[in-house]
Amino acid sequence: AQKITQTQPGMFVQEKEAVTLDCTYDTSDPSYGLFWYKQPSSGEMIFLIYQGSYDQQNATEGRYSLNFQKARKSANLVISASQLGDSAMYFCAMRDSGYSTLTFGKGTMLLVSP
Amino acid sequence: KAGVTQTPRYLIKTRGQQVTLSCSPISGHRSVSWYQQTPGQGLQFLFEYFSETQRNKGNFPGRFSGRQFSNSRSEMNVSTLELGDSALYLCASSATGVINSPLHFGNGTRLTVT
């Protein structure tokens, strides 16, 4: 069974600094996809970035990048130059080839201070 | 392109009642998934529909049911409501549901059972 672990319940960062949110996963399937979502207090889940298990390079989307270490089964989200609007819950999720659903971690609350 | 639309945004019901939640996916998306989000359990998968057929089902009692119409719109029904059903219910659509296809979420329906 697939499993996602986010060990940081909360993280604090100052504006303009970079922050790394941790995510480890477990699956026996060699083919899988990893996703990060942001959930502001409004409740909507916003898709941020995707990394496929066979992708050779780490995914990047603007200020978001994914530090993918396949052997360690980790897929950490790096947010560069944090902004106040980045304050939100962040969820790591995975889908493997045996499922079409996403399994989510418990999330990390990020607070960005001025 | 319009996003995923969920109605209503808020609902207050009494124990024992039933409720129906509605979800309109992004145009062209054939997969619709439903998730329950609570502070204690996090995001839990309810079910997924693809082309009017339930393709996956989570570990929820039979009181939770859903369906998808020919226009891909989906409804979720919860019968005999319990206090523990109070949660944010999120609907998400994707184009195909394959590994690299992200879920796009609506704003959710916040259900309160009293």
DSSP string, chain A: --EEE---SEEEEETT--EEE--EEE-S-S-EEEEEEEE-TT---EEEEEEETT-SS--EETTEEEEEETTTTEEEEEE-S--GGG-EEEEEEEEETT-SSPEE---EEEEEE-
Overall average pLDDT of the B51-57 stretch: 91
d(CA B114, CA B57): 27
Q: pLDDT digit string (tens) for B59-103?
A: 999 999 999 999 999 999 999 999 999 999 999 999 876 778 889
Which residues from chain A sit within 8 angstroms of residue B33, using beta carbons?
A: 101-102
In this prediction, residue B10 carries a pLDDT of 97
Q: pLDDT digit string (tens) for A39-91?
A: 999 888 999 999 999 999 999 999 999 999 999 999 999 999 999 999 999 99
User: With 70 as the cut, is the pLDDT of residue A98 above it?
Assistant: no
**Interface-testing mutation among A3, A25, A44, A99, with chain B (most B C-beta atoms within 10 A):** A44
Overall average pLDDT of the A93-98 stretch: 84
CA dihedral B14, B108, A2, A53 (to 10 degrees): 180
Which residues from chain A sit within 8 angstroms of residue B105, using beta carbons?
A: 37, 44-47
The 3-state secondary structure of chain B reads CCCCEEECCEEEECCCCCEEEEEECCCCCCEEEEEEEECCCEEEEEEEEECCEEEEECCCCCCEEEEECCCCCEEEEECCCCHHHCEEEEEEEECCCCCCCCCEECCCEEEEEC
Map tokens 């184009």 to a residue: B95
**Sign of torsion, CA A35 B41 B7 B96?**
positive
Asked if the Cβ–Cβ distance from A107 to B42 is below 8 Å, we say yes
Instruction: Name the band, by pLDDT with cuts 50, 70 and 90, for residue B2.
Output: confident
User: With 90 as the cut, is the pLDDT of residue A97 above it?
Assistant: no
In this prediction, residue B75 carries a pLDDT of 98
Inform me whether the C-beta atom of residue B2 falls under 8 Å from chain A C-beta atoms: no
% of chain B residues with pLDDT over 90: 87
Inform me whether the C-beta atom of residue B107 falls under 8 Å from chain A C-beta atoms: yes
In this prediction, residue B15 carries a pLDDT of 98
In this prediction, residue B97 carries a pLDDT of 67
Q: Tell me the residue type at B41.
A: Q
In this prediction, residue A45 carries a pLDDT of 94
Which residues from chain A sit within 8 angstroms of residue B55, using beta carbons?
A: 100
A positions 14-33 inside 8 Å of B (CB)? 31-33
Q: Are B19 and B49 in contact (CB under 8 A)?
A: no
A positions 42-101 inside 8 Å of B (CB)? 42-47, 50, 52, 91, 95-97, 99-101
Asked if the Cβ–Cβ distance from B102 to A44 is below 8 Å, we say no
Which residues from chain A sit within 8 angstroms of residue B31, using beta carbons?
A: 100
User: With 70 as the cut, is the pLDDT of residue A99 above it?
Assistant: no
Overall average pLDDT of the A18-37 stretch: 95
Inform me whether the C-beta atom of residue B55 falls under 8 Å from chain A C-beta atoms: yes
Instruction: Name the band, by pLDDT with cuts 50, 70 and 90, for residue A101.
Output: confident
User: With 80 as the cut, is the pLDDT of residue A1 above it?
Assistant: no
CB-closest option in A52, A102, A107 to B103:
A102
CA atoms within 13 A on the CB side of B83: 1
